[in-house]
Each structure stands twice: as structure tokens, then as C-alpha cells.
Amino acid sequence: MTQTESQPTHLPRTLTRDLAAHDGQQVRLQGFVHARRDLGGVQFVVLRDVSGLTQCVGSGLTLPLAESSVEVVGTVKAHPKAPGGFEVQIQNFRVISAAVEPAPVEIPKMEWNVNPETMLDYRVVTVRGLKERAALKVQAELVAAFRDHLAEEGFTEISTPKIVSAGAEGGANLFPIDYFGHPAYLAQSPQLYKQIMVGVFERVFEVAPVYRAEEHATSRHLNEYLSLDVEMGFIEDEDDVMALENRLLAAIMERLKARCAPEFALLGATLPEVPAHIPRITLLDARALVTEKYGHAVGGKDLDPEAERLLCQHYAETEGSDFVFVTKYPRAARPFYAHPDANADGTPSQELTRGFDLLFRGIEITSGGQRIHDHAMLMDSIAAYKLNPESLAGYTEVFKYGMPPHGGFAIGAERLTAKLLGIANVRYARAFPRDRHRLTP
């Protein structure tokens, strides 16, 4: 007869992933009641901890509600039908913190019978699900790989203000706030500050949220997302920036392959191979290609979502690449700080910039390029974009003092995570998403 213990034991805690090393031994597990069954005197508890699931079997137990946190002391036995091939025969069972009511969603079953909005309404609980947790684990490793690789290449991590007096990219997609009686905004990008910091460290990066007051209601947009920003000085042109991102993505995928294989298997996702040289195509040629090959007329100044999908399809079929750089964006589709491309005679182009986007599996995941570093050219560009130079004085001042040629890019962490894992809606690649309709939880 299994006894319920009221006091904790002093065995060291064992995680589910380490059970194989303790076959036949007594262990102490702690975690959550993932699922439970009572078969007339024999109780089964599936315990979930940070490393996975363990089936625990005992008798004479009073089982708490699912999601209660519990402690199990028992003996590890090999069992071919148990998760991970081992189960724990319970000797002592202790409820650490009991759930006071049933969870609003059955975590083991929610993927096939829960409305997507319900999953977000009860996110404080549903985020405990195995697949939801797997996506966030992949994103955490992705961000760690981003940091580690850039540090290896001589980059310094910085932290820039998220309350600003003006937008980095202009336009109306800013969240206004009252800053002690003065108008201010939530930062839509660290762009202007990371350029300034190139004058300090030459190579910088930041991992931080950004805010876009865009009234999108699509599967690819968030109003708050995690931006992975990079800026580097003393470049020749935008090719140096694209080469850096090429190396960075290869390092990220290697890290995910080494550390997140179980998560990719759980989600049925496949890691992409990053080519040694990601294909490149100019925006003008890309628009022509999708029109001529697929009959899709591209509207606007950029590529629309269908054109992005078709262009990626083309490169997947013809070159086996899930990635493609789209280059030479027109000034009308780029912010004021984008460096103009050079005409054949070496003079600055009035039409094209050295800006690029990176597409991955049918969607843009990066925007980047070379920036203007010459003070006079920058002031001319601000005037051409009809921006107020006084509101940008704190930024433009540094360009009077010898800023080197520089460029960079930004990756949306949630969007990249979603495309890597086949998650249809980017909101499920963030623990607590913010979109135009959601401020809670």
C-alpha cells in the first residue's frame, strides 16, 4: 500500500530526462500532474517536469487535480510503454501545491479540441503545454545562439531606450505615451541608437522588445515582438552585412540541431540547411520573376505576401534554398537613413538603396542594409523625406564626428521561430502575445 507523505524527503531531485541513469534506484521527482487515472485501486500519474513526462504508478493514493504540483519518491523500472521507456513505482506521494479548481483546458488534449482564441485567453495555463513549451525553448536557444555567435565575431551587446521622443522609421505606427506632461513614444526600433553605438564599439547588437502601432490582424504580425538587432561599422557595402547574417543563421541552425532535436521532433518540424551563399536577387528582378513564372502581378512598392511565398517556392525548387535575399530596394520603400545605391558613374542613385530583406519559407524575417554615414547626405535625406530635423538632432549630431560606413539588420524572433517550427500564427511563438485586440494575460 502506497502511503501519502506529509513531509518532504531529502533525496536530491531527479529530472525525467535522467531516469535511465537510475534504473532500479530510488529517486525523488517534482513536477506537475499532467494526467491521471484511477483504475480501481491502482493509480497512474503522468508527472511533467521541465525535461519531459514520467509515468508514476501507485496504490492507495488520493490524486489531486491536474496541474497540481507534486513530489513523487519511488523506484525506477524499465517499461517499454511508458514515456521515455521508464516508469516510477511510487513509494511516497506528496502534494506540494494543489490546484483549487480544474484547469480551463485539458493540457494533454488541447491541441485538437480547443479554439485558438481560448488558448490565448487562458495562456497562463495553456503555455504549460508540451508543444507550446517546445516552441519557447527553441526560441530561447535561438536567441542564445544569436548572442553567442555575435560575441565570437567581436560584437558587444547594448541596451537602448524604449521610451523615445521620435520614431526611428517615421510614419504613424507609434504608440504615444505621456512622459511627465511631454509627448513621447514606445520605441519602434533601436535603429538610431545602435547606429550611434557603432561609433563606440564598432560592432553592436541588442535583444529587446519593439513596439509597432499597426492595426494588422494577420497571422504574421504582432504589436510587441522581440527584435534581434545588429549593426556593424567599417563595411564596404551591404554585401558585408548579408555575409554576416549568412554566417549567423548557419550558427543558429547548428545550435538548434544540437540542442533542440526533441522539440523539433515533437512539433514535426525540419531544420533548414543554410547555404554557404544564400541566393540574392534584386527587388525589380524578383517582381518580374513571380509575374513571368507564376502569373502573379505584384502591387505596391515591395513584394506582397503572395509574391514572397512564390519567390521562396522558386528558390526552394531551383536551388534547394529556404532562404533568399531581396536587394536594391527603392527609396520609397526604405527609411530615410538607407544608403543610396551607386549609379554606374559612382554618383548616388536617386531611386535605389543598399537595403535588403531576407525571406525564409515564404515570409520576410529580416530587413537590413547599409546606412548613410555622411552628415550632409543624411541631412539631405531627412529633408527629402520631409522629416523634422530638430526632432532627430540627438541622432544626427554624431554624424558630424567621423562615423564609419556601417550597416545592419533586425530579425523578428517570433516570426523566425514560427517559420522554423511550422506554427501557423506568430502569436503562438510568444509566451504572452500583444496584438491589436489583446492586452491580457
Please pick, among 245, 263, 308, 364, the residue that the annotation labels catalytic.
364
Q: Is 28 annotated as a binding residue?
A: no
Is residue 299 located within the same domain as residue 348?
Answer: yes
Query: Looking at residue 216, what is its pLDDT?
Result: 74
Q: How many CB atoms lie within 10 A of CB 192?
A: 23
> Is residue 309 assigned to a domain?
yes
Please pick, among 221, 296, 427, 430, the residue that the annotation labels catalytic.
221
Q: Is 277 annotated as a binding residue?
A: no
E strand or H helix at 16, and its extent? Answer: none
- Average pLDDT (383-410) is 95
Please pick, among 203, 415, 427, 430, the residue that the annotation labels catalytic.
415
Task: Give the pairing type, strands 348-353 and 355-360.
Answer: unpaired
Is residue 176 located within the same domain as residue 219?
Answer: yes
Is residue 149 located within the same domain as residue 204?
Answer: yes
Is residue 197 located within the same domain as residue 131?
Answer: yes
Peptide bond into 433 cis (omega under 30): no
Q: What cell numbers appear for 257 in the block?
A: 540541431
Q: What are the beta bridge partners of residue 47?
A: 33, 54
Closest CA to 395 of 196, 227, 234, 99: 196
Is residue 274 located within the same domain as residue 216?
Answer: yes
Is residue 139 located within the same domain as residue 78?
Answer: no
Determine whether 364 is an active site residue: yes
Instruction: Kindly report which listed range (165-169, 186-190, 238-242, 340-344) carries the lowest average pLDDT score.
Output: 165-169
Q: What are the beta bridge partners of residue 176?
A: 185
Please pick, among 212, 287, 354, 430, the residue that the annotation labels catalytic.
212
d(CA 130, CA 114): 15
Is residue 81 located within the same domain as residue 221?
Answer: no
Q: Is 147 annotated as a binding residue?
A: no
> Is residue 32 assigned to a domain?
yes
Q: Is 19 annotated as a binding residue?
A: no
Domain final residue, candidates 97, 114, 136: 97
Is residue 288 located within the same domain as residue 376?
Answer: yes
> Is residue 122 assigned to a domain?
no
Of the pLDDT bands very low, low, confident and very high (cuts 50, 70, 90), residue 117 is confident
Is residue 47 located within the same domain as residue 163?
Answer: no
Instruction: Supply the CATH number for residue 46's domain.
Output: 2.40.50.140
Query: Looking at residue 208, what is its pLDDT?
Result: 98
Q: Which percentage of the chain shows pLDDT scores above 90?
A: 85
- At residue 9, does pLDDT exceed 70? no
Task: Give the pairing type, strands 340-342 and 348-353.
Answer: antiparallel
Q: Is 212 annotated as a binding residue?
A: yes
- At residue 260, does pLDDT exceed 50? yes
Query: What does the pLDDT look like over 232-252, one tens digit per residue?
Result: 999 999 999 999 999 999 999
> Is residue 436 assigned to a domain?
no
Of the pLDDT bands very low, low, confident and very high (cuts 50, 70, 90), residue 40 is confident
Is residue 175 located within the same domain as residue 305?
Answer: yes
- At residue 394, does pLDDT exceed 70? yes
> Is residue 141 assigned to a domain?
yes
Which DSSP string do the residues of 88-116 spell out, in sequence order? EEEEEEEEEE--SS--SS-GGGHHHHS-H
- At residue 2, does pLDDT exceed 60? no
d(CA 241, CA 371): 11
Query: Looking at residue 335, what is its pLDDT?
Result: 93
E strand or H helix at 143, and its extent? Answer: helix 130-152
Query: Looking at residue 170, what is its pLDDT?
Result: 59
Determine whether 367 is an active site residue: yes
Query: Looking at residue 220, what is its pLDDT?
Result: 78
Q: What are the beta bridge partners of residue 311?
A: none
- At residue 169, does pLDDT exceed 70? no
Determine whether 189 is an active site residue: no
Domain final residue, candidates 77, 97, 117: 97
Mean residue pLDDT of the chain comes to 93
> Is residue 121 assigned to a domain?
no
> Is residue 147 assigned to a domain?
yes
Question: Residue 337: which domain range?
Answer: 127-429
> Is residue 57 assigned to a domain?
yes
Of the pLDDT bands very low, low, confident and very high (cuts 50, 70, 90), residue 4 is low
Give the SS3 label for residue 238: helix
Alpha-carbon torsion, ordered 298, 304, 310, 315, to 10 deg? 110
295 Cβ contact list (under 8 Å, min separation 6): none
Query: Looking at residue 17, what is its pLDDT?
Result: 95
Is residue 83 located within the same domain as residue 156?
Answer: no
- At residue 279, does pLDDT exceed 90? yes
SS3 letters for 359-423?
A: EECCEEEEEEEEECCCHHHHHHHHHHCCCCHHHHHHHHHHHHCCCCCEEEEEEEHHHHHHHHHCC
- Average pLDDT (279-297) is 96
Specify the DSSP class assigned to residue 145: H
pTM above 0.85, yes or no: yes
Q: Is 273 annotated as a binding residue?
A: no
Instruction: Supply the CATH number for residue 377's domain.
Output: 3.30.930.10
Q: Is 413 annotated as a binding residue?
A: yes
Side chain identity, residue 231 = E
Q: Is 169 annotated as a binding residue?
A: yes
Largest pairwise CA distance in the chain:
89
Closest CA to 212 of 425, 8, 415: 415
- At residue 88, does pLDDT exceed 80? yes
SS3 letters for 148-187?
A: HHHHHCCCEECCCCCEECCCCCCCCCCCEEEECCEEEEEC
What are the C-alpha distances in Å from 142 to residues 38, 147, 207, 241, 365?
41, 9, 11, 19, 14
Q: Is 415 annotated as a binding residue?
A: yes
What phi-psi label fits residue 381: left (phi over 0), alpha (psi between -120 and 50 degrees) or beta? alpha
Please pick, among 106, 141, 214, 306, the residue that the annotation labels catalytic.
214
Determine whether 94 is an active site residue: no
Determine whether 203 is an active site residue: no
Please pick, among 48, 220, 287, 406, the residue that the annotation labels catalytic.
220
- Which of the listed ranges 163-167, 322-326, 343-347, 390-394 does the model predict with the highest average pLDDT? 322-326
Q: Residue 325 in contact with residue 308, Cβ under 8 Å?
A: no
Q: Is 243 annotated as a binding residue?
A: no
d(CA 46, CA 63): 11
Count of domains in the chain? 2
Please pick, among 189, 227, 321, 367, the residue that the annotation labels catalytic.
367
Is residue 64 located within the same domain as residue 184?
Answer: no
Half-sphere exposure of 257 (CA within 13 A, CB side): 11
Count of helix runs (H) and strand runs (E) in the chain: 12, 19
Determine whether 212 is an active site residue: yes
Phi, psi (rounded to 5 degrees) for 158: -125, 170
- Average pLDDT (391-408) is 95
Query: What does the pLDDT look like over 336-389, one tens digit per residue?
Result: 999 999 998 888 999 999 999 999 999 999 999 999 999 999 999 999 999 999
